[in-house]
Structure 1
């Protein structure tokens, strides 16, 4: 069966919006700073970086979160390997991705490297020395269970739980916990009570903390021993 790609439109500010989920791919204010606040700071990065560090993500989207991490890894100068695995059901095309990332000049050449290599059928990419990207294509509810990896940090980056509830189900949060390394963490922009309860039940110590911009709260957590 042929993979489905994203249904992308662009709002008046040039921010990509998913027609399927009626939700923007990143903050209308500053997507890069939002990513740094939510996913890097929320997971204690780059301070926790080490050789072999593995990040997993639900929802690759534009690739902004991955590129933000890749840049942080390079700036940190950590020797060794960073692996980033993302589960994506509706990938953008390379052209859509390049257009979405165009405003983020601070990411430098990494944007072009990603869009030049990008394939909508997923797979593994060598974005830069020491940085590997794996795209697992398909519904995360089906694809995460057989995955053999264990993440040191999770980016829970699906569209809004109200509009994309499948990516925030109790069962999927259980799988996230099952695929988390000891002492592993998660961060997400949402502070929805149902999501926090699901993550707590899955085995995380969950904390609501300050969100980015106009969002008052977000959620972080660490896997209980």
Structure 2
């Protein structure tokens, strides 16, 4: 597999838009606030960090790394924070220049962004990075293939190439629009995600598309619609019973 950076158009405020998916990487109304509302608040974070020895977050769509860095900043503020693993998938990783331009829009994350950029050299397959004390595991390639390696590894059947992970405590489902990138909302993919999730584990996503909700429910999650970000009527959060 060869790595291909995304073709980007830069909108006002340096908001990157993926031409291949006709969708932006974060909200023009404010990417940082969007991440906090949808993915942190939607998963009960950072409060759920308290009292844990370790916590594992998984994400579909690393994109600009904004979700990771926002989570990292919130995690750092907790007095008794757990060991944190952030596991994420990306088919089209940004170049260092694209990543730097995207993250420059969030000055409060600059120290963490610099550390990420210094370590940024994605290769096909699994990439293991240590950023500000957290474990960042990035799978470069098709999530539908890479997640199968994790599932086999957790069952003790892996071949050793996949990272060793604990059950997932929280999911950030942040692929591009389901209408434009249905592969990341596929029923079979979400079933494997559910298998990797701890009992009581949660998910959050900006979309409330009916077929996505049905796929999540079929995978075994209890689903709830809640208020979306910046005037968006609804988003979804969920829990594995």
- For normalisation by structure 1, the TM-score amounts to 0.96
Structure 1 residue 145 corresponds to structure 2 residue 123: no
Name the CA distance, whole Å, in 2 between partners of 1:125 and 1:98: 17
**Which residue matches 2:138?**
135
What is the correspondence of 1:47-58 to structure 2 with a 5 Å cutoff?
47-49=47-49, 50-58=52-60
Asked if 2 retains the 8 angstrom alpha-carbon contact of 1:59 and 1:156, the reply is yes
**Which residue matches 1:199?**
216
**Which residue matches 2:159?**
none
SS of 1:21's partner is coil
Asked if 2 retains the 8 angstrom alpha-carbon contact of 1:95 and 1:115, the reply is no
Name the CA distance, whole Å, in 2 between partners of 1:3 and 1:162: 24
SS of 1:48's partner is helix
RMSD between aligned alpha carbons? Answer: 1.1
Asked if 1 retains the 8 angstrom alpha-carbon contact of 2:75 and 2:81, the reply is no
Structure 1 residue 111 corresponds to structure 2 residue 113: yes
| Cα deviation 1:16-45 (Å, max 9, x = unaligned) | 000110100000110000000000000000
How many residue pairs get matched? Answer: 223
SS of 2:56's partner is strand
Name the CA distance, whole Å, in 2 between partners of 1:78 and 1:108: 24
Deviation at 1:72, TM superposition (A): 0.4
| Cα deviation 1:70-126 (Å, max 9, x = unaligned) | 000001123441000001111001111110010101223001111111112151111
| Cα deviation 1:127-185 (Å, max 9, x = unaligned) | 112x1101011111111112134210000000000000111011111111011011100
Name the CA distance, whole Å, in 2 between partners of 1:106 and 1:218: 26
Gaps in structure 1 of 5+ consecutive residues: none
| Cα deviation 1:174-208 (Å, max 9, x = unaligned) | 11101101110000000000000000111000001
Name the CA distance, whole Å, in 1 between partners of 2:88 and 2:65: 9
Asked if 2 retains the 8 angstrom alpha-carbon contact of 1:57 and 1:86, the reply is yes
Structure 1 residue 162 corresponds to structure 2 residue 185: no
Deviation at 1:4, TM superposition (A): 2.2
**Which residue matches 2:15?**
15
Asked if 2 retains the 8 angstrom alpha-carbon contact of 1:5 and 1:120, the reply is no
Name the CA distance, whole Å, in 2 between partners of 1:69 and 1:167: 21
**Which residue matches 1:123?**
127
What is the correspondence of 1:75-90 to structure 2 with a 5 Å cutoff?
75-90=77-92
**Which residue matches 2:4?**
4
